[in-house]
Homo-oligomer: A and B are copies of this chain.
């Protein structure tokens, strides 16, 4: 086999893939060492992206060794997932040693700092895993093919008479349909909820959260045309999913949730379409308490129609105050809801925890 390898790969290719990249190193105490080989660079720094990022708000200058290798050790860094970038002579770049994740409108470096106290979002070797299915769907409203991700629980292919409730789960601004799988670990969280018998088996649909009319210049960027995305979900996506998967196709078995921008979308779409959804949740995406969807001005209707209204927020999240106000307003009005505060900022680690808390409440 050595012969085959030698013969079928170019020397260049082998050299490149065999070279050990100086990988980012997460130490057991939570400190993190970043490295970059850049002999000709004048300055190199590493910076977390986003307010309240676990890596701190300011760039961390890296220092150069005589051999051209730059490095810095920072932290301890808060456990969880943090977007970041390296800055080489003023140019923000992805870290060559990091996997990239779609966030900030493009593929962006991400740092995963394990939390030794938590194992709910890591793959569980003891169970058969669910599947995340990548599908393409032609959309009449946008005139484009749209990719979506769909989680199906373990056993979906085996129990072929069983039908499932569906959770529609949206990403944040600058992210896309891959983000709940890649950054959020949705499949591992759902697998673990099911393995511990904490949640009902459900299908989770993760759609591309932007929509623009045919011919739009930037169809994949956050759009203010949110009525169009709402239309895509209600008129196209829900019927498509009910056609393609073994769903229980009624409002009592359909939930919608999302984080940040996606939380606003979930509240708007869910609360304005209670004929379609009976379970509505937002993670760090609270709506304006003074200007809510109509149903939230009618406590009797809201309580009669909503199986669950769930509002989650991190204690250090920038939208905490807004979430508090919404919670107070709903409480004053006597609208039944769950208000859940988790540790964390406006970040994936909080949303992973939110899904872990929300999952068991759905479809009971």
Contact indicator A264/B129 (Cβ below 8 Å): no
A5 touches B131 (CB 8 A): no
Quick one: which of A38, A136, A137, A181 has the most chain B CB within 10 A?
A136
Which of B42, B174, B246 is within 8 Å of A16, CB to CB? B174
Chain A: residues with Cβ within 8 Å of the partner, total of: 90
In the complex, which of the residues B8, B40, B131 contacts A134, with contact meaning CB atoms closer than 8 Å?
B131
A8 contacts B263, C-beta separation under 8 Å: yes
CB neighbors of B among A132-165 (8 A):
132-138, 145, 157, 160
Report the Cα distance A133→B157, complex, angstroms.
12
Does A20 sit at the interface, judged by CB under 8 A? yes
Residue of B nearest to A96 (CB): B106
Q: A106-B97, A138-B125 are in contact. Are A8 and B286 (CB under 8 A)?
A: yes
Contact, CB under 8 Å: B181 / A134? yes
A221: chain B residues within 8 A (beta carbon): 17-18
Residues A224 and B5 in contact in the complex (CB < 8 Å), given A106-B21, A107-B94, A160-B160: yes
The reply on A333 being an interface residue by CB < 8 A is no
Tell me the A1-50 residues at the B interface (CB within 8 Å).
1-5, 7-10, 12-14, 16-21, 36-42, 49-50
A146 (CB) vs chain B CBs: closest residue: B123
Number of copies of this chain in the oligomer?
2
Within 8 Å of chain B (Cβ to Cβ): is A276? Answer: no
In the complex where A40-B89, A134-B181, A136-B123 touch, is A14 in contact with B96 (Cβ < 8 A)? Answer: no
Evaluate contact between A94 and B92: CB separation under 8 angstroms. no
Could you tell me the distance between the alpha carbons of A2 and B287 in the complex, rounded to whole angstroms?
A: 11
- For residue A56, give the distance in angstroms from its CB to the closest CB of chain B: 14
Q: Please, could you name 26 A-B residue pairs with CB atoms under 8 Å apart, sorted by A?
A: A1-B224, A1-B264, A1-B268, A2-B224, A7-B288, A8-B260, A8-B284, A10-B318, A10-B346, A14-B173, A16-B104, A16-B174, A18-B105, A19-B105, A20-B218, A36-B91, A40-B89, A40-B90, A41-B89, A88-B93, A92-B96, A94-B100, A96-B106, A129-B136, A131-B133, A157-B244
| Residues on A facing B (Cβ under 8 Å) | 1-5, 7-10, 12-14, 16-21, 36-42, 49-51, 88-94, 96-100, 104-107, 123, 125-126, 128-129, 131-138, 145, 157, 160, 173-174, 181, 187-188, 218, 221-222, 224, 226-227, 244-246, 260-261, 263-264, 267-268, 284-288, 291, 318-319, 322, 346
